[in-house]
Amino acid sequence: MTQFINMLLIGIGAGSIYALMAIAMVLVWRSTRVINFAQAGMALLSTYIGFELVQKTGNFWIALPLAMVLGALFSALVEILLIRTLIRHSTSGPVAGIVPIIATLGLLGFIRAMIGFIWGNQDVQIQPPLSKIGFKVGQETIALSPMNLLVLITVLAMVLILGFIFQKTNLGLSLRASAYSPEIAQLAGVRVGAIRTIGWSIAGAAGAAAGLLQTVNGTGTVSPDSLEFSLLLTFGFIAAVIGGLESLPGAVLGAVVLGLVLAFVQIYISGTLVFIVAFALLLLVLLIRPQGFIGTKAGRRA
Amino acid sequence: MLKKHPLTAFILFGLLLFLLSNRVDELRVFQGATVAIYVIAIASIILLTGYSGQVSLGHGALLAIGGYAAALSRNHWGAPVWLAFCIAVLAAAMGGYLLGLAAARLSGPYLAGTTLALAIGLPSIANQFSIFGGEQGLLFDIGAPPASLGADFTQYKWYFWIAALAALIIIYWLRNVMNSRYGRNWKAVRGNDVAAELAGINVGRNKVLAFTISAGIAGLAGALLAMTISTVSPGAFPLALSFSLATGAVLSGVTTLGGVMIGAVTLVAIPEIVDSVVSRYETSETVANNLPGLLVSTLLILTVLFVPNGPVEQMRARHERRAKR
């Protein structure tokens, strides 16, 4: 029984971080129809910036929001410098589909190399702000530490804030309108270019939070070649796709389902199988319900 | 020459390589073998892209299937070398067929992401089952070159001969396939799959076929790669390999086979160039570690921004424009 509860806790904890990554991918996809394979690299950069800020200020609570703001700025910069150029140059030829994929892949390599130049290729360590020892319930220690609780609360708060922005504010309306149809939104007076940049910057902030929280929640160390960030990218992508790639609640749902499935595999079967199970889950969803958990038949436009 | 008598041209090129391999030192011969292997792997991606307009980010996984299949068949059944290579092709093609069944229904960035997930997921299987030898992997020894080639015929030269011959055969064959009915079908599907369907082409079957052939060729490249390093292990097929192959394909130009050497040579040359820069200016280790990545990714971004069709296609387009005028 304890094992089962631990599985649920681990699954939801991991899923909540994938959710941030999935949200970032969905926001970028909705605003520019690009899957940002550099999302993990951008999250990695924000994590290093977070590391510097923790060093300077000595306080994780100041470093996290600051890193998110800087991550958002960097993401906006990428949109303005790279993605706009890409869209302006875009050809309708046979390679039109691969250009954004390759460009973001190139960006990923570029960011990694830059991080290597600045911080070197060794691990750097970020102290977790809270204890990572699980709470005690009766005799048993459960897989929920103050740190995990913090991650859950942060993610929940972000999802709620994003949900509020999207549903209740004019900005959210513009974001949704330009995702639905850029032309119509433009005619209705939405400044689609600016809205795209905002979409990217929110994604950058979410990615920064995902990177920092994943790091302090996990090993506490990062290096330019961290496997964790490849995983964050893959699992974030898988969560976004099984959630439908168009909807934010879908991304969160997809991430939590993925987290739970992987936790189940990890605890009851074998830890080394998680990647292949994640891949199988992705294939299964794409074959049976390509529009994702949440999404209409016409939802998949690619 | 290449247009009128392609077979003669290929044989002459092969002879040239053979003469060259006797003139240069061991390191260059080994690099030559690596270039030949990259040529095969990149050609397999170009073939795949030739039908879908999509690039696979997970070809490293298919290479891994080929490498492991070759090593397993040789270690367990004592298969002769040529048979091990055939088994590698078949096994990878089978994997590609299964993946293709799913991929035929995927378009847009879905295929890229799915193949990426495969490339991350597949190596972990090697750690799960003891038959694959875990982190250390398996030995794959093709043996010394035949004695009839002479006593001073080195192992690396033997690798180079095998890899170069395989590359020449594969490129010649692919060139013919691309010009055949299948190649035309793939081009039609790539151009507009609805129009292709209306013209009587079975889009789904063609996509799966292209994926299967591409995977088989990737499997051969994997077996050859395993040959040059004498082992197969999860570490030999990292995500970085998949990314470099995709990079090589883009640098070569994904719409034509004509530029396949460009990407392969670039992939081998960049570490070499960085080495010489580092040793000349005695820069720090940080620069040596990160300069290759920086060069490759910058080259990649510039390529997609300015010559998205690849240098060869770009030159041809310019040539055609000038001819019209």
Could you tell me the residue range of the domain that residue B128 belongs to? 27-146+153-238+254-260
Q: Read off the pLDDT of residues B117-156 as tens digits, 9 standing for 90 and up.
A: 888 888 778 777 777 877 777 878 777 777 777 767 778 8
For B235-266, write each residue's pLDDT tens digit: 888 888 888 888 888 888 877 888 888 888 88
Q: In whole angstroms, what is the distance from residue B141 CA to residue B118 CA?
A: 27
Residue B234 has pLDDT above 80, yes or no: yes
What pLDDT is recorded for position A218?
78
Distance, in angstroms, between A170 CA and closest chain B CA?
30
Contact at CB, A35 and B300, closer than 8 angstroms = no
Chain B CA closest to residue A269 = B128
CATH number of A2-299: 1.10.3470
In tens digits, chain A (302 residues) has pLDDT values of: 778 888 888 889 889 999 999 999 999 988 888 889 899 999 999 999 999 998 888 888 888 899 999 999 999 999 998 888 887 776 666 677 778 888 898 999 899 889 988 888 788 888 777 777 777 777 777 777 888 888 889 889 988 998 898 888 888 888 888 888 888 888 988 888 899 899 999 999 999 999 998 888 877 788 887 777 888 888 999 999 888 888 888 899 999 999 999 999 888 887 778 888 888 898 888 878 777 777 655 444 43
Indicate yes or no: CB of A95 within 8 angstroms of CB of B120.
Answer: no
Query: What is the percentage of chain B residues whose pLDDT exceeds 70?
Result: 95
Per-residue 3-state assignment (H helix, E strand, C coil) for A273-294: HHHHHHHHHHHHHHHHCCCCCC
Pick from A92, A101, A262 the residue to mutate for testing the B interface (most B CBs within 10 Å).
Answer: A101
Chains A & B: contacts with CB separation below 8 Å: 167
Has residue B13 been placed in a domain? Answer: no
* Residue B67 DSSP SS3: helix
pLDDT of residue A301: 42
User: pLDDT, tens digit, for every residue of B280-315?
Assistant: 876 677 777 788 888 888 988 888 888 877 787 778
Q: What is the pLDDT of residue A299?
A: 44
Query: How far is A100 from chain B, CA to nearest CA, in Å?
Result: 8
Q: Which of A85, A279, A302 sits opposite B117 (nearest CB)?
A: A279
Q: Do B116 and A237 touch (CB under 8 A)?
A: yes
The per-residue pLDDT for A302 is 38
Tokens standing for B167?
């590359």
Contact predicate B248/B305, CB 8 Å: no
Residue A21, pLDDT score: 93
Q: What is the pLDDT of residue B53?
A: 66
Predicted local distance difference test score (pLDDT) of residue A255: 93
Distance from CA of B287 to the nearest CA of A (A): 7
Say whether B300 and A109 touch across the interface (CB within 8 A): yes
Region B213-225: what's the mean pLDDT? 93
Residue B300 lies in a domain: no
Within the 42-81 window of chain A, which residues sit less than 8 Å (CB to CB) from chain B?
Answer: none
Distance (Å) from the alpha carbon of B118 to chain A's nearest alpha carbon: 6
Domain count, chain B: 1
Is A92 within 8 Å of chain B by CB? no
* Residue B152 neighbours by CB under 8 Å, 6+ apart: none
Q: For residues A291 and A300, what is the distance between their CA atoms, to the nearest angstrom?
A: 6
Using CA coordinates, name the residue in chain A closest to B186. Answer: A94
Residue B215: inside a domain: yes
Using a CB–CB cutoff of 8 Å, tell me whether A122 touches chain B: no
B117 contact residues in A (CB cutoff 8 A): 234, 237-238, 275, 278-279, 282
Residue A204 and residue A76: Cα distance in Å, rounded? 8
Q: Provide, as residue numbers in chain B, all residues whose Cβ is less than 8 Å from the Cβ of A282.
A: 113-114, 117
Cβ–Cβ < 8 Å for A194, A56:
no
Within a domain: residue B75? yes
CB < 8 Å & 24+ apart, contacts of A280-285: A281/A238, A281/A242, A282/A238, A282/A241, A282/A242, A282/B113, A282/B114, A282/B117, A283/B102, A283/B114, A285/A241, A285/A242
Alpha carbon separation from B167 to B48, B59, B61, B161 (Å, rounded) = 17, 17, 20, 10
Q: What is the pLDDT of residue A300?
A: 43
Q: Are residues A128 and A216 in contact, defined by beta-carbon separation less than 8 angstroms?
A: yes
| Contact criterion met (CB < 8 Å) for A275 and B113 | no
CA distance B43 to B263: 10
A102/B250 Cβ within 8 A: yes
**B305 occurs within a structural domain:** no
The CA-atom distances, in angstroms, between A148 and each of A118, A184, A245, B299 are 31, 43, 27, 41
Bridge partners, residue B231, by sequence: B139
- CA of A226 vs chain B CAs: smallest distance (Å): 12
Residues 6+ apart with CB under 8 A from A10: A143, A259, A263, A266, A267
Tell me, what's the pLDDT at B102? Answer: 77
